[in-house]
Structure 1
């Protein structure tokens, strides 16, 4: 069983539909979105359609794709029962599950379907994908980010911003987070999201966050809400790199959006204003690099951290197996000395140290290549 998961509107449904249209197998593709089914009887009915198609096809079998499966209460229990029945009977039915609520999908998979599925994670679109599909330049990608559904509106930034805020941000928070898991302070969660967009690329202690949010919550609540937003594919809090895992978990988070479109839409700045403002552009550049790395990390390519010791800092630290890569990002011409990279290299002996921007690797070149390339052999 394949499970296709990822943030909203990154093309999960479109991708599966295209793959099914090219397969030389019969398929059944149905969505639990419209109209919304009431219970697991709908799953059983669609599964039976898939079984009939598989029986008619003989040994080759058929494919059943169920979209927005998380909208049906107790979906994972029904899928487990039906899948196990087919396994025992030897039915050649291949199943694909799609969901736009990673929080609920993950819960259902771990609670009922352990050992029965393979996850295919679809991240936000990369710069090469947006360039190929929509002709984006590096500056377009910095501002408009990696939402393919919003890209056709790039010629009208006002409409584009409303689309991102209403169809992506609000829908994700209201339907994928607040309706799918317990959140005692919804207004605080929204403010945490706003804070993460405003301070993307910066290290902020939970105590300082509470001061910024002017809320009587506690640091545990903030950490939980940041985790919810991360699993919803919106923004994350990177941990500080340390040799001992326990020291990583106790660190202040570095806030990082997973799509720079969230930064620009929330800031309310037009493309020219955002890209000519030196400080804001610098934050966009670092956040674009961070989003490129964080989306790869979410897909299991590597682990992603930052590092700071007193006034010395490394923007991003990648770890994959025994490979360790330190990355510093500069949007302008950097100084000749890079004390953060120097001290990190002395302390941890990384496999590679990279400078992105300035006199180092051009931003365009860094974003064009997959993260595996920068990890090295």
Structure 2
């Protein structure tokens, strides 16, 4: 049986309901969004339109199969084009309902963010459908979380439900590709690169050229104004190399050519985080203002981004205990960030000489997490010091002497906020 992510089931469930909201499927590049949606569409009538490789719909393209067959038209993908495609889908829905009155019909646009003013146009079309009682499911996919977020907040507030698609977890990579835990730490959670890991040079070239470069050049630089694109790329390279470490942006400036002020760097780090590449975690404080003022702890959101940028082979990486320890800690941090909901936070904590790898929290609960990749865990002075300052918090050791890494990576962040 072909592996399917949990979001496929969720999407099928929505197709079984009345079309109350637009469904937004958004996440980083190459995490399987299109494959997931196509799997969910397999048993219903639909029209799937890939904005960047569109083929003109024909009446025969609708029904249970939902694939287009005519030659590409080469039309400009603008607001007028989007309106025309939507109107064609409306007509096909009516034809379909005449034969199958109870069956769902879905209109899907892949890479919707490539259409200028897409959110304004979708808002008008969706509202018109609601006014006439047209029950057509609409699914929008985008590989640029930055532009998707902008469009949603500007025009579609209250009209959509989000299905977030994040990087693949260890559990998913193990089930789909038989990854071992150590392979997951080094090669990360990109499904497209999984068949290449036995040829490490080929794997590395694929990650850098087909994943990292397009994520920055296309998903950030073509969608958002960046005054110093070279600086953003340097920051990503440096941050990936220092993943698992705390580094003040003032010190970072000294290692970057043409660096701007710390506010500029912080803004670029936010862009990289929103694109699913690199986070700058803040120090845990009860006050948000103090959190933002703290030096960031870099953490890649997929460890392939860290290991592909190093000269180490898989074997050499495991032999370097310092690097491997940061890689394991980065995998734990990525898992927490990727599974956090909007009301859950991931931070770190440090008050010299003590440090805690991660502090996770929501409005009512707090857990401090230390990560140990070696065979022994040693002293846990950081957890003890944090616990003394924050009574009632949960303290958790992940790795040697604590929760097994395989178990920890099998549950989302919320699971570890539960009381002991």
Tell me the TM-score normalized by structure 2.
0.86
Match of 1:33 among 52, 67, 75: 52
CA distance in structure 1 between the aligned counterparts of 2:177 and 2:85, rounded to whole angstroms = 36
2:83 counterpart residue number = 44
Q: Deviations over 1:336-373 (max 9, x none)?
A: 43111111111112431111112112222211233232
CA distance in structure 2 between the aligned counterparts of 1:301 and 1:127, rounded to whole angstroms = 24
Q: Aligned with 2:217: secondary structure? A: helix
2:37 counterpart residue number = 16
* Cα 1:335–1:69 shift into 2, 3 Å: closer
Match of 1:332 among 349, 374, 395: 374
Q: Deviations over 1:246-271 (max 9, x none)?
A: 21111111100000000111113211
Contact 1:301 1:372 in 2 (8 A): no
Instruction: Determine whether 1:190 maps to 2:233.
Output: yes
1:108 counterpart residue number = 151
Shift of 1:334: 4.6
Contact 1:333 1:358 in 2 (8 A): yes
Instruction: Determine whether 1:118 maps to 2:161.
Output: yes
Q: Deviations over 1:60-115 (max 9, x none)?
A: 54111110000111111111110011011110111100000111111111111111
Q: Aligned with 2:137: secondary structure? A: strand
Match of 1:144 among 180, 187, 191: 187
Q: Name the stretch that deviates more: 121-130 or 273-282.
A: 273-282
Alignment of structure 1 residues 277-356 onto 2, 5 Å: 277-297=320-340, 299-300=341-342, 302-334=344-376, 336-356=378-398
Q: Aligned with 1:98: secondary structure? A: strand
Shift of 1:155: 1.5
1:7 counterpart residue number = 28
Provide the aligned length of Structure 1 versus Structure 2: 374
Alignment of structure 1 residues 62-101 onto 2, 5 Å: 62-101=105-144
2:68 counterpart residue number = none
1:128 counterpart residue number = 171
Alignment of structure 1 residues 153-164 onto 2, 5 Å: 153-164=196-207
Contact 2:377 2:401 in 1 (8 A): no
Shift of 1:218: 0.6
Q: Aligned with 2:359: secondary structure? A: strand
Instruction: Determine whether 1:255 maps to 2:294.
Output: no
Q: Aligned with 2:350: secondary structure? A: strand
2:18 counterpart residue number = none
Runs of 4+ more than 4 Å apart? 333-336
Shift of 1:59: 5.6
Shift of 1:245: 1.6
CA distance in structure 1 between the aligned counterparts of 2:197 and 2:414, rounded to whole angstroms = 30
1:180 counterpart residue number = 223
Q: Deviations over 1:30-66 (max 9, x none)?
A: 1101157431222112212321233232365411111
Q: Deviations over 1:202-254 (max 9, x none)?
A: 11111011012243411011001000000100011001111112211111111
The answer to which structure has the higher helix fraction is 1
Shift of 1:277: 1.4
Q: Aligned with 1:33: secondary structure? A: helix
CA distance in structure 2 between the aligned counterparts of 1:249 and 1:277, rounded to whole angstroms = 33
Tell me the TM-score normalized by structure 1.
0.96
CA distance in structure 1 between the aligned counterparts of 2:389 and 2:299, rounded to whole angstroms = 25
CA distance in structure 2 between the aligned counterparts of 1:339 and 1:7, rounded to whole angstroms = 37
Contact 1:54 1:91 in 2 (8 A): no
Q: Aligned with 2:258: secondary structure? A: coil
Shift of 1:333: 4.2
Alignment of structure 1 residues 237-276 onto 2, 5 Å: 237-276=280-319
Provide structure 2 residue ranges, at least 5 long, that are not aligned to the other structure. 1-21, 55-73
CA distance in structure 2 between the aligned counterparts of 1:60 and 1:232, rounded to whole angstroms = 36
- For the aligned residues, what is the CA RMSD? 1.5
CA distance in structure 2 between the aligned counterparts of 1:8 and 1:184, rounded to whole angstroms = 23
Contact 1:10 1:122 in 2 (8 A): yes
CA distance in structure 2 between the aligned counterparts of 1:66 and 1:233, rounded to whole angstroms = 21
Q: Aligned with 1:183: secondary structure? A: coil
